[in-house]
A = this chain, B = another copy of it.
Amino acid sequence: MAVTLAEVAAACRVSISTVSRALSDPDKVNPQTRARIERIAQQLGYAPSRAARSLVSGRTDAIGLLVPDIANPFFPPIMKSVLSRARDKGYAVLLADSDEHAADESELARDLGRQADGLVIASPRTGETELAELAAQFPVVFVNREVAKAENVVIDETEGIREAVEHLVALGHRQICYLAGPRRSWSNQQRRTALARACTELGIELTELGPFEPQIQAGLRAADLAHSGGATAVIAYDDLIALGMMARLTERGMQAGREISVIGIDDSPMSAVAHPMLTSIHVPAAELGSAAVDLLLARLRSGESSAPARTVRLETRLVIRGSTGPAPVDRR
C-alpha cells in the first residue's frame, strides 16, 4: 500500500541506501542525484515508515501525556501548550486520562511509556514511591508535582497565596477559610501549607473545610458549609470549587464579594462566566506545558542519564476581580 524506499530506489535506478541518505543525511550524496531522488520521492508520495524507523533507532518520536481529568478546565491549557510545543519539536502526543482514579495511573503510564520516548505526567494523587518507580523506568517529567530525584515543573503558590491573604486582610477580613482539595493531592498540601504560613505571618486566623473533589458539585456543597460556618472569606483549592461555591451563593440570594469573599486558584478561563468574575490566583498554564516538554526533550537528548534532575518552579500572582470585597460588618 504505502510506498517504500525500495520503490523510490527502483524508480531512481539507485540503491536503497542512497535514497535513504538523500532524504535523511543529504550532505552525503551527490547534489544532482539528491535532487532527482527528492523529486521522485515527492511525486511518488514517499513517507518513511515510522515503525521501521523506530525499530532501528529505538525512538518513537512520540511523548505520552497523562492527566487526571481532561474535563477539569485547569488541564486543557496545559495540554494545548504541550501539544504545540511537542509538535514544533517533531513529536506526536499520546494521551491518557486517569479519570481522577489514582489506582490506574501507574498502569496507564506504563502503557504509555512503552509506546513513547518519554512521559509528561500530571498526577496529583498517586503516591510518591509509585511515581519514583515510573521515573526510574522511563524518562518522565512531572507537572504540578514534585517527585524527588525526578524532573518536575511545579507551581510555586507561595507568592500568589501571600498576595491573596494580604488582599483579604486589606479588605478587613480577619479570618480565612480554606476549602481543601483532595487530601492526598500534592498541590493541596502545597497550597495548604503556603496558606498556613501566610496567615500566621500576617497574624490572621485560618480554618479549613473539606476535603472537596475538584468539581463544581463539590463547590455547591462547600458554599453551604462555609456560609453556615460564618466565614467571611474563603480561598478554594481550585477554581472549580470556587465557581461552584459562587453559583450556590447566588442561588441562595447572596453574592460573592459581599456576604462572602471568594478566591480561586488556577485562574482558568471559566472564571469569566461567573458573576461577579472570580478573583483567582493565576498560574501560568501554558508555561507549565511547554516547560515540561522542553525538560523532557532535553533529557531525551542528553542520553537518558547524567542530567541532574531539575525542578522548574513557576511563579503565581493574584488576579483581583469582583468576587472579593470588604468584610461585612455584621458578621465579623
Contact = CB atoms under 8 A, between A and B. Distances in A.
A114 interface: yes
A76 B97 CA distance: 10
A62 B269 CA distance: 31
A209 interface: no
A83 B55 contact: no
What's the interface size class on A, roughly? 35 or more
A115 interface: yes
Say whether chain A's binding surface is mostly helix, strand, loop, or mixed.
Answer: helix
A69 to B, nearest CB: 8
A243 interface: yes
Contact of A71 (B54, B77, B220, B251): B77
Contacts of A270: 216, 270, 273
A115 B79 contact: no
Interface stretch (A34-42, A45-53, A142-150, A225-233): A45-53
A60 interface: yes
- Count copies of this chain in the complex: 2
Contact of A216 (B1, B62, B84, B272): B272
A70 B80 contact: yes
Interface string A263-285: 00000011011111100000000
B243 A47 contact: no
Interface in A226-277: 243-244, 246-247, 250-251, 269-270, 272-277
B114 A47 contact: yes
Nearest to A268: B71
Contacts of A95: 65, 79, 83, 93-95
Interface string A92-118: 111111010000000000011011000
A14 B77 CA distance: 51
